């Protein structure tokens, strides 16, 4: 339908000598025509042509009414024509606006209807990743020590020999350095050499240098040694260092903490024992053993029939270390431990080869989802 009635020439003929009643009737016809046109405007384009046909400045109906009826009308009719024109204009504007709102709402409804999800369709299963077993062990150990009031700190993987060895009471040529075959970094001439830390223990010294007791920290992180990779060794692996220093910390506190940790981590049935050992920075030093998780202590191939499995090294902080960090060794005491994260995870999940952690084989990783 052509929405512009003027183009048909049906309605707009000059008013000539019309009476006010005839004027009103002519405007009534126009209004009727507009209402008919409006009913036909059902989408945005239809609405635009309706608007242009009636309100367009150059040749819209209202412009033509102004030119053909209002301007040439006799003075006694002008008032009536002007008033009717204003009323018609107000009617058209209001009707156009409500039409626009209705068209927009209908368009939105049809988009919504088109995009409606069919909830009865079967879903698409997305492949889900899982947290790496080592990450799970980190999180579990952090949870246990956070609950005991420890905080988690981290430190540099590139270290100086001072923090990695000397300040831990491991002077040059000390045999303990042989156990930790070290990666050294090439250093420019005259510069002090750097190394990849062989354990997380340097963070004991770095923390105590900065902070007076009480200290309760754990330090998760990567460490590096020139070890040949095999089922229990990597050249890069992870440790979690623990350190607690305060007045009156005794060996009993140490033992209680270790037992609590092992039970929380490996289960309530697991027992621990302490075996004398040696670390230059702890005195006395111990190896913490747990009842074999595979045979429950009866004896099997994994524990070499002993019923016990070695867990980690630990001990009371050697007072010599306090000398490097200006702690008063008479006033303060404490304990430290160094957990091997790969080995603890192997025990917990019965993993027989440490290399599996780093091969990114989803068949292995999926088991820990
Ligand atoms: C240490 O590194 C001491 N810093 C631990 C310590 C801290 C003792 C605080 C006392 C007080 P050790 O060299 O034994 O100790 O290493 C600790 C743990 O790291 C071992 O028990 C083992 O679980 C793990 N580990 C050692 N070498 C490797 C390796 N090449 N690959 C994987 N894990 C290893």
Q: How many CB atoms lie within 10 A of CB 32?
A: 12
Q: Average pLDDT over the chain, rounded to whole?
A: 91
Nearest-angstrom CA–CA distance, 147 and 170: 33
The rounded Å distance from CA 339 to ligand 1 centre is: 6
CA 131 to chain centre: 14
The rounded Å distance from CA 182 to ligand 1 centre is: 13
Most confident of 27-41, 326-340, 341-355: 326-340
The rounded Å distance from CA 312 to ligand 1 centre is: 7
Stretch 88-98: mean pLDDT, rounded?
95
Stretch 272-281: mean pLDDT, rounded?
96
User: Ligand 1: which of 338, 348, 351 to mutate, judged by most atoms within 8 Å of the beta carbon?
Assistant: 338
- Lowest-confidence pick of 161-165, 175-179, 233-237: 175-179
The CATH superfamily holding the domain 133-368 is Bira Bifunctional Protein; Domain 2 (3.30.930.10)
pLDDT at site 4: 53
Task: Name residues whose C-beta falls within 8 Å of residue 96's C-beta, 6 or more positions apart in sequence.
Answer: 38, 47, 50, 51, 54, 55
pLDDT at site 171: 81
CA 233 to ligand 1: nearest atom: 31
pLDDT at site 58: 87
* pLDDT tens sequence across 117-156: 888 888 888 888 889 999 999 999 999 999 999 999 999 9
Residue 291 and residue 307 in contact, taking contact as beta carbons nearer than 8 Å = yes
The rounded Å distance from CA 218 to ligand 1 centre is: 15
* pLDDT tens sequence across 248-264: 999 999 999 999 999 99
| pLDDT reading at 304 higher than 80 | yes
User: In the chain, which ranges are continuous DSSP H helix?
Assistant: 5-8, 20-40, 44-55, 61-65, 75-115, 133-147, 161-164, 176-179, 202-210, 251-266, 319-324, 341-349, 362-365
The rounded Å distance from CA 81 to ligand 1 centre is: 102
User: Ligand 1: which of 340, 354, 357 to mutate, judged by most atoms within 8 Å of the beta carbon?
Assistant: 340
Beta strands at 151-152 and 158-159: parallel, antiparallel or unpaired: unpaired
pLDDT at site 35: 94
* pLDDT tens sequence across 58-79: 888 999 999 888 888 888 888 8
User: Token pair for residue 264?
Assistant: 């929380």
pLDDT at site 7: 46
Stretch 207-220: mean pLDDT, rounded?
97
CA 180 to ligand 1: nearest atom: 13
Q: Whose CA is nearest to atom 31 of ligand 1?
A: 233
Nearest-angstrom CA–CA distance, 348 and 183: 30
Q: Residue 243: how many CA atoms within 13 Å on its side-chain side?
A: 29
| pLDDT reading at 10 higher than 60 | no
Nearest-angstrom CA–CA distance, 220 and 222: 7
Strand partners, 309: 290
CB of 314 closer than 6 angstroms to any ligand 1 atom:
yes
Q: Where are the domains of the chain?
A: 20-115, 133-368
The rounded Å distance from CA 95 to ligand 1 centre is: 83
The rounded Å distance from CA 200 to ligand 1 centre is: 9
Q: Whose CA is nearest to atom 21 of ligand 1?
A: 312
| pLDDT reading at 359 higher than 60 | yes
User: Token pair for residue 163?
Assistant: 């923090």
CB of 201 closer than 6 angstroms to any ligand 1 atom:
yes
Residue 128 and residue 164 in contact, taking contact as beta carbons nearer than 8 Å = no
CB of 239 closer than 6 angstroms to any ligand 1 atom:
yes
Smallest CA-to-CA distance from 307 within 320, 316, 295, 315 is with: 295
What pTM did the predictor assign?
0.69
The rounded Å distance from CA 198 to ligand 1 centre is: 9
User: Token pair for residue 90?
Assistant: 């107000």
CB of 346 closer than 6 angstroms to any ligand 1 atom:
no
Share of the chain above pLDDT 90, in %: 66
CB of 227 closer than 6 angstroms to any ligand 1 atom:
yes
**In Å, what is the CA distance from 125 to each residue of 22, 122, 131, 180, 296?**
74, 9, 19, 47, 40
| pLDDT reading at 194 higher than 60 | yes
User: Token pair for residue 28?
Assistant: 């009534």
The rounded Å distance from CA 250 to ligand 1 centre is: 23
Task: Name residues whose C-beta falls within 8 Å of residue 130's C-beta, 6 or more positions apart in sequence.
Answer: 365, 366, 368, 369
């Amino acid at each position: 339908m052509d929405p512009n009635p003027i183009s048909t020439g049906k309605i707009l003929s000059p008013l000539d000598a019309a009476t006010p009643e005839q004027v009103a009737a002519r405007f009534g016809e126009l209004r009727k025509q507009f209402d008919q046109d409006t009913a036909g405007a059902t989408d945005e384009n239809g609405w635009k042509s309706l608007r242009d046909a009636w309100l367009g400045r150059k040749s819209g109906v209202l412009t033509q009414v102004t030119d053909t009826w209002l301007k040439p009308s006799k003075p006694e009719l002008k008032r009536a024509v002007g008033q009717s024109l204003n009323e018609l204009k107000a009617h058209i504007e209001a009707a156009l606006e409500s039409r626009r709102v209705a068209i927009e709402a209908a368009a939105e409804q049809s988009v919504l209807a088109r995009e409606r999800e069919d909830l009865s369709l079967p879903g698409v299963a997305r492949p889900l990743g899982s947290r790496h077993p080592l990450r799970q062990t980190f999180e579990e150990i952090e949870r246990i020590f956070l609950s005991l009031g420890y905080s988690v700190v981290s430190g540099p993987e590139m270290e100086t020999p001072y923090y990695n060895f000397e300040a831990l009471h491991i002077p040059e040529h000390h045999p303990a350095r042989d156990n930790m075959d070290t990666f050294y970094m090439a250093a420019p001439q005259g510069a002090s050499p750097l190394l990849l830390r062989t354990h997380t223990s340097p963070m004991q010294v770095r923390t105590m240098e900065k902070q007076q007791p009480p200290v309760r920290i754990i330090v998760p992180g990567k460490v590096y040694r020139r070890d040949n990779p095999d089922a229990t060794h990597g050249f890069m692996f992870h440790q979690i260092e623990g350190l607690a220093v305060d007045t009156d910390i005794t060996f009993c506190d140490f033992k209680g903490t270790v037992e609590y940790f092992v039970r929380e981590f490996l289960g309530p049935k697991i027992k621990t024992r302490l075996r004398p050992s040696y670390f230059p920075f702890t005195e006395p030093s111990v190896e913490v053993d747990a009842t074999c998780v595979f045979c429950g202590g009866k004896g099997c191939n994994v524990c070499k029939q002993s019923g016990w499995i070695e867990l980690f090294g630990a001990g009371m902080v050697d007072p010599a270390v306090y000398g490097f960090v200006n702690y008063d060794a008479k006033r303060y005491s404490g304990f430290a431990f160094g957990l091997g994260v790969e080995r603890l995870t192997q025990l917990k999940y019965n993993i027989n080869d440490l290399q599996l952690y780093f091969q990114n084989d989803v068949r292995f990783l999926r088991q820990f989802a």
